[in-house]
Structure 1
Amino acid sequence: MDNHAVIYMKDIVKSYKMGKNTLTVLNEISLEVDRGEFVAILGPSGSGKSTLMNIIGCIDVADSGEYALAGKDIKARNEDELADIRNREIGFIFQKFNLLPKYTALHNVAFPLLLRGTTKEAAYDKATKLLERVGLGERLHHKPMELSGGQQQRVSIARALAGDPNILLADEPTGNLDSKSGKEIMEMFLELNGEGNTIVLITHDIEIAKQAKRIIQVRDGRVFESV
């Protein structure tokens, strides 16, 4: 295995039972993402890209094949171990933001740190710095409903960064945003990548994918590298 690869997949297969039939969603996929890369995984609905994202994110596990995340073999992990890996290794950014609606931006970002046992003072200090980093220093005490869609997505990016993850995994991160806000979020990803963050972005939109440094297309359960 390449020591530089933060994501290493070899011959990944994933199938689902559909009544009496078996549907193979991923068919012997092999993929490597090096530390510091910005990769878009591009594919239409039903192509297998969401299943691939779930396996990368340790939300689901493959039926067969090898997967190592930041050097950790994922194959034989139980649910608790997978949850711990998700918490420590991956910063998730979702299309629908997934913020806690009753809490301020500051608490939303501090929350995963508090769950890990970080002291309240340290968690809130880090959350403040991250919200300032994403341009929301004036919005620390606003709740999600008091923020625009673009601002909510910035909160979720700050939250994803809070645990210093090995990868940022972004699922259609501009899907709920207008074009101006979407452009600003993509510019932020490019800045974060420039600072050394590894980013894997899942999208069905070729124009979004083109802004990444590398495009991997998923079609009919297989991957194709775009040159």
Structure 2
Amino acid sequence: MDNKLIYMKDIVKYYKMGKSTLTVLDKVSLEIQEGEFVAVLGPSGSGKSTLMNIIGCIDVANSGEFSLVDEDMMKKNEDQLAYIRNRVLGFIFQRFNLLPKYKAIHNVAFPLLLRGYNKEKAYSRASELLEKVGLGDRMDHKPTELSGGQQQRVSIARALVGDPKILLADEPTGALDSKSGGEIMDLFMQLNDEGNTIVLITHDLQIAQKAHRIIRVKDGKIYA
């Protein structure tokens, strides 16, 4: 099936630092099809997080071509990029980024409440997803009452709640022990088997090897 969700050609990202220029991404090109599970692998400082931020519409490239779900991202303004972030993408972070004072079910429902869903519908969807990630008995627990692996499952349920086209996971096992990390990767593989497109950033080859395809990033360039 040839259905490109992500298309990048000759993407350049640099930062001005006084009189010097730091090039973080140097003519990066890639394509990711619907239904793929891709790992972006590279050491710290390789440019992989900047690449993820551009795919996630958090940062903007200086030049090149970038389309997401057949829309040209290089021509979008900040409001349009924010809309795409909220509707097309689901984010999973290394440190979970959960709301500490709220129960798991509210953390998952929160993006839908922001979109204007009524509380009953938002909580129903959140409950369904917490069951799906194996936390049906932990819905009323706050983040501090959950293990790291359980918090990451809440984070994954939250990322899924808006039915995104693409899941972006930035070092999702980085704050977990190896057992919990392995369980989270098993969950990602299950989600991919169900048709979810996943782009996962990691510095860990063992984690990357769980994906269908590895994109290696070093010194701002992509290597096959």
Q: TM-score band, normalised by the shorter chain? A: over 0.9
% identical aligned pairs:
72
Distance 1:18 1:49 in 2: 20
Q: Equivalent residue for 1:29?
A: 28
Q: Which residue is 1:219 aligned to?
A: 218
Distance 2:11 2:2 in 1: 19
Alignment partner, residue 85 of structure 1: 84
Q: State the distance in 1 between where 2:63 and 2:2 align.
A: 22
Alpha-carbon contact 1:14-1:27 (below 8 Å) kept: yes
Aligned to 2:112: 113
User: Is the Cα–Cα contact under 8 Å of residues 3 and 71 in structure 1 kept in the other structure?
Assistant: no
In the alignment, which residue of structure 2 is the partner of 1:160?
A: 159
Question: C-alpha distance in 1, partners of 2:182/2:207?
Answer: 9
Instruction: Give the letter aligned to residue 166 of structure 2.
Output: I
Q: CA deviation at 1:22?
A: 0.5
How far does residue 111 in structure 1 lie from its aligned partner after superposition? 0.3
RMSD: 1.0
1:65 maps to 2:73: no
- CA–CA separation in structure 2 for the residues paired with 1:175 and 1:46: 16
Normalised TM-score (structure 1): 0.97
In 1, Cα distance between the equivalents of 2:131 and 2:121? Answer: 15
Given residue 38 of structure 2, which amino acid in structure 1 is its aligned partner? V
TM-score with structure 2 setting the length: 0.98
Alignment of 1:192-203 (within 5 A): 192-203=191-202
Give the superposition deviation at 1:18.
Answer: 1.7
Q: Deviations over 1:36-92 (max 9, x none)?
A: 000000000111101101000000000001111111111111111111110001000
Q: Could you say what secondary structure the match of 2:75 adopts?
A: coil
- Whether contact under 8 Å (1:93, 1:169) holds in the other structure is yes
Q: Distance in 1 between matches of 2:100 and 2:121?
A: 23
Moved over 3 A (4+): none
